[in-house]
Structure 1
């Protein structure tokens, strides 16, 4: 899981810091956001202090109607040591009581011009992506016809060279060598490259190349949902490889399962074309068109018909 600070949120959304500069590096531990309406009325039995507290016009208009003693009491109880930050929507003016107490306790107070509900959704999506369970896998991630394809295999099997050929054919590179994968929801995995390796590709004998510089911005992409895994392995003449595509193999990453294809590698096989076809076939299966099942059904019908004819001829 990545570490997200209040400063990361400030930079991501261009928020203005109103108070609590010394606490700008506080960690945010949950993607959930609270709008402390009941707390403004004095009900703190279930106050979720570890969340970012988002204050909109509703909360602040009620707060402004309280007398001075209640205002101080509410802000004193809201500014808990676990509270990462307060964010004021609609560029609403920060109450003096909040500014004073937040400054004393080093809790950042920020402002955004966005409406409360819209900003709540934007911030939740950002935090869910950043705080999602994460793992790193050795492989290459490419966007082929809109399908995120994770290419795996032993070192030297030809993953990067295949990715280079795919980019030359108009597809996009997301990550080479190390793919950071976040599970943002059940069976939803988003892959990206580490910042140091972003847009870079390693070709043995050539070295590190910058794909965006060579092929332009359309040749790369920052992240992509992974839908298909293709494992490249050196051709083993004693191994039986799937020739129909009926049996579907799965690969588990974190808590999600992905469709996996094992593609044997030997001289003369055009891996980039094979991966293109695999991506298109995966898309067709998602639309309900399965060529392998259709062929299998036709084959069973043909066998049944031949058996029926044989039975009829035997009776005659």
Structure 2
């Protein structure tokens, strides 16, 4: 898990530092922010003190309406828990009292520079923190986005993963990562595939060398991340090992406790591997919609009996 600090948020969102310049190395351990509401009226039973605290127009307007004595009490009750930082959305004024308390307690007080609805900022902030703090592993393979869904291509070195990805790019699909794929667990059912930063936009082809797919094929050939929907393993051809079954038994590969549907595609000269991957992707999408070609075929057979 990557270490996330207040300083990372300052850089990512171009935040203005009002207080706590010497506390920006403070670590953030929770992937969701919090808007103190009940806490301002004295209810602290479930106060998530380790979360980034967001103060928008609603919170600041409430504080402005309080008397000086009551405002000091309300703010004092919150800052004593020492959250990682406070972030005030742009457009809020009259924050002298808040600045004073954060300065005294050594808590970073930050402010957004761009006029943006608080809810929108929170969505972007939480999304960034979730992806940054998510448990992650690196696997050898290639990640591509096909028809809007992420596919992880795996197989032994030299089996043709990168070459297959190059063919997929020519068909209008997008490269996400080559050689090293970083998998992040965003939820008990969601695995995100991305690159490690160093290999971003690069695709290595034997006999050709290293390619920058964006420079060669344009921005449409690459995207930073994708949700993994299929795990496809490319293997060498084994004679008499494939049958024309109506439907294959579902298989899964587990990554960090999340099961991803698994398909094996055997390679042989003349096989349209890219076309098979497209077919697998479309078939998976149809199954998500509740359709099974095998079930429909069996229903047709039964209707003729």
- TM-score range (shorter-chain normalised) is 0.7 to 0.9
Give the alignment of 1:86-105 within 5 angstroms.
Answer: 86-93=86-93, 95-105=95-105
Say whether residues 1:37 and 2:44 are aligned partners.
no
The answer (yes or no) to whether the contact 2:82–2:105 under 8 Å persists in 1 is no
Give the stretch that moved more between structures: 127-136 or 222-231: 127-136
Number of the residue aligned with 1:55: 55
Q: 1:301 to 1:264 in 2, by over 3 A?
A: farther
Cα distance between partner residues in 2 of 1:70 and 1:2? 40
TM-aligned CA deviation for residue 278 of structure 1: 1.6
Pair 1:67–1:147, CA change in 2 (3 A)? closer
Post-superposition shift, 1:82? 4.6
Aligned-pair Cα RMSD in Å: 2.5
Q: What residue is the counterpart of 1:7 in the other structure?
A: 7
Q: CA deviation at 1:67?
A: 4.9
1:131-210 map, 5 Å: 131-210=133-212
* Higher share of residues assigned helix: 1
The alpha-carbon deviation at position 247 of structure 1 amounts to 1.5
* 1:237-279 deviation digits (Å, cap 9, x = unpaired): 3645674333221222223222211111122222112212222
- 1:277 pairs with 2:279: yes
Change in Cα spacing, 1:106 to 1:230, as seen in structure 2 (3 Å) is same
Give the 3-state SS of the residue equivalent to 1:209 in structure 2.
strand
CA deviation digits over 1:102-152, x for unaligned, max 9? 234442211123333332333223222222222222111111222211111
User: C-alpha separation between the residues in 1 aligned to 2:10 and 2:244?
Assistant: 51
In structure 2, do the counterparts of structure 1 residues 190 and 48 end up closer, same or farther at CA, with 3 Å as the change threshold? Answer: same
Partner of 2:239: 237
Is the counterpart of residue 264 in structure 1 residue 263 in structure 2?
no
> In 2, are the aligned partners of 1:81 and 1:105 still within 8 Å (CA)?
no
CA–CA distance in structure 1, aligned partners of residues 226 and 11 of structure 2 = 23
- List per-residue Cα deviations over 1:171-225 (Å, max 9, x = no partner): 1101111111222223222211111111111112322211111111111111111
SS in 2 for 1:162: helix
Q: In 1, Cα distance between the equivalents of 2:46 and 2:271?
A: 62
- Given that residues 82 and 107 in structure 2 are in contact (C-alpha distance below 8 angstroms), is that contact kept between their aligned partners in structure 1? no
Scaled by the length of structure 1, the TM-score of the pair is 0.85
Alpha-carbon distance in structure 2 between the residues aligned to 1:80 and 1:217: 48
> Structure 1 residues 149, 43: CA separation in 2 closer, same or farther (over 3 Å shift)?
closer
Distance 2:129 2:119 in 1: 15
2:218 counterpart residue number: 216
Deviation of 1:77 after TM superposition, in Å, equals 4.0
Cα distance in 2, alignment partners of residues 145 and 96 from structure 1: 52
* 1:172–1:137 Cα change, 3 Å: same
Matched residue SS, 2:198: helix
Q: 1:58 to 1:280 in 2, by over 3 A?
A: closer
- In the TM superposition, what is the alpha-carbon distance from 1:32 to its structure 2 partner? 2.7
- Gaps (5+ residues) in structure 2? none
| Distance change >3 Å, CA 103–CA 285, structure 1 → 2 | same
Cα distance in 1 for residues equivalent to 2:25 and 2:54: 18
* Paired residue secondary structure (1:33): coil
Alpha-carbon shift at residue 99 of structure 1 (Å): 1.7
SS at match of 2:280: helix
Corresponding residue number in structure 1 for 2:117: 115
